[in-house]
Amino acid sequence: MSDAATDLVIHDSFSRTKRPFVPITPGHVGIYVCGPTVYSDTHLGHAKSYVSFDVVVRWLRFTGLRVRHVENITDVGHLVDNSDDGEDKLIRTARLSEVHPLELAEKYARLFFSDMDALGVVRPDISPRATGHILEQQALIRELLARGHAYEVNGSVYYSVASFPEYGRLSGRDTEEGEVGHRVAVRGEKRDPRDFALWKRAEGGHILRWESPWGSGFPGWHIECSAMSCRYLGESFDIHGGGLDNQFPHHECEIAQSRGAGHGFANTWMHNNLVTVEGRKMSKSLGNFTSITQALEKNEADLVRLWVLSTHYRSQVDYSVQGLDALKGALERLRAALRSVSEAVTAAATPAATTDAAFLAEVATAEAAFTAAMNDDFNTPLALGALFDLARVLNTGVARGGLSRAALETGRARFLALGGEVLGVLDAASAAPAGGDAARYVDLLIETRQRLKAAKAFDLADWLRKEIAARGVVLEDTASGPRWRFNA
């Protein structure tokens, strides 16, 4: 093992095995994640994919690696269907609403970023747009023509799949003897039905078009990712990620293009599984399509993240009311522990205590379990188990008392590092006391109840607690006095 070796093991979709992760350049990671085609609302599938890869990137950075995360914005639409009639999704949608295709792309790109921000997804370092990289795409196409992997017909350029024997290996399919013309309409221009477009001739009304050596046209579905990953990460880079639904044909074509051009391309392929809603595939036709905006109206962002991370990224995750409800309790448990330890830090005695060592050892054990889980192909469900173990360690330590401020602060910091910095489901603000205009009135009600208790007027005190609870205020009496918060 070279000195570039890490403790991390990643499941590589291409070899279908878990392999030790060894960065090409020690200490650095280049990762390319397939971004969205910006032509409609962001949905739960995006949430699953981009929260998953967000945690991948966060973990890589947490372990000390320097990461460059590139994620494209596809603003040249993919073809609407396989009949190659040349109309792409962006143009079709734009024509229907009578706006320029790039107006539409801009609108949905902004929505994508705002939704991802709301989910706490750290923005990619570079978000290259397909329309901004036409020259790079043309250059790659020229290279493929020169190497005999592509051919031009009537102003369009197609990739010759027969020239690349590895085609189909990523997705595990044998394309040698596909049923010609059954599911895939054969267009006269293609020499082989498996061939796919690198460059398309623009027909009369096509708005998005660029001049090229082959005439006026626009790039094919897949070439942008090959061109842009190369530009920003180099001919060979560490990780390529994306949704399982992109494995074929998109990623298969990317491999054919990049390797056909002589590039090493991605060392490791990661594919996240898909989202179901109430047990069924999420799709517009089934009517269970859920946008991120809709999901965030009903659930806090932390809860949506927890939902994604409670299942392994390579497993399907089901979005259901029942499932989300169960996670609310789990999230509250984590927050309660954070609040509890945060208050204890403030109240704790400063000098080192004899019980510190045992406490810190338990903290370290939980963190080690967390680390082992994440290093095993980003096993977030298992890591969450360790995080809950850590919550228990903190709760127990606080309840027993006698710990030094430094020890408690360490426990709190490790908890926030794992649950916050790495998983993004916890933050210091969620442990902060409730504020806002209503807070001082609530404080008054709490103080009133304290006085009723002091006067042994327990029936009135209980009544008051019930009343404010009905108005969304959760009240807890602790050893150090009452604590309250608004119920989310």
Partner RNA sequence: GGCGCCAUAGCCAAGCGGUUAGGCAGCGGAUUGCAAAUCCGUUAAGCCCGGUUCGACUCCGGGUGGCGCCUCCA
Please list every residue from 152 through 191 that binds RNA, using CB under 7 A. 171-174, 183-184
Closest approach of RNA to the CB of residue 411, in Å: 13
Q: How far is CA 29 from CA 65, 66, 92, 162, 237, in A?
A: 7, 6, 38, 33, 8
Site for RNA in 390-409 (CB under 7 A): 391-392, 395-396, 399
Closest approach of RNA to the CB of residue 314, in Å: 7
Q: Is 245 in the site for RNA (CB under 7 A)?
A: yes
Site for RNA in 301-320 (CB under 7 A): 310-312, 315-318
Query: Which one, 23 or 308, has the nearer CB to RNA?
Result: 308
- Which segment (80-88, 145-153, 258-266, 427-435) binds RNA by CB under 7 A? 80-88
Closest approach of RNA to the CB of residue 451, in Å: 12
Query: Which one, 57 or 142, has the nearer CB to RNA?
Result: 57
Residues facing residue 219 across a β-bridge: 199
Closest approach of RNA to the CB of residue 282, in Å: 5
Q: Is 473 in the site for RNA (CB under 7 A)?
A: no
State the number of CA atoms in the 13 A half-sphere of 371 facing the CB. 13
Rule CB under 7 A: choose which of 22, 79, 139, 417 binds RNA. Answer: 79
Closest approach of RNA to the CB of residue 337, in Å: 7
Query: Which one, 100 or 314, has the nearer CB to RNA?
Result: 314
- Which segment (118-126, 198-206, 402-410, 451-459) binds RNA by CB under 7 A? 451-459
Q: Is 422 in the site for RNA (CB under 7 A)?
A: no
Rule CB under 7 A: choose which of 264, 381, 402, 472 binds RNA. Answer: 381
Closest approach of RNA to the CB of residue 3, in Å: 26
Q: Is 413 in the site for RNA (CB under 7 A)?
A: no
Rule CB under 7 A: choose which of 124, 217, 242, 419 binds RNA. Answer: 242
Site for RNA in 212-231 (CB under 7 A): 221
Rule CB under 7 A: choose which of 329, 351, 436, 481 binds RNA. Answer: 329
Site for RNA in 11-30 (CB under 7 A): 16
Site for RNA in 261-300 (CB under 7 A): 272, 274-276, 279-283
Closest approach of RNA to the CB of residue 176, in Å: 11
Q: Is 337 in the site for RNA (CB under 7 A)?
A: yes
For RNA (CB under 7 A), the number of binding residues is 84
Determine the Cα–Cα distance for residues 301 and 114; give it in Å rounded to an integer.
12
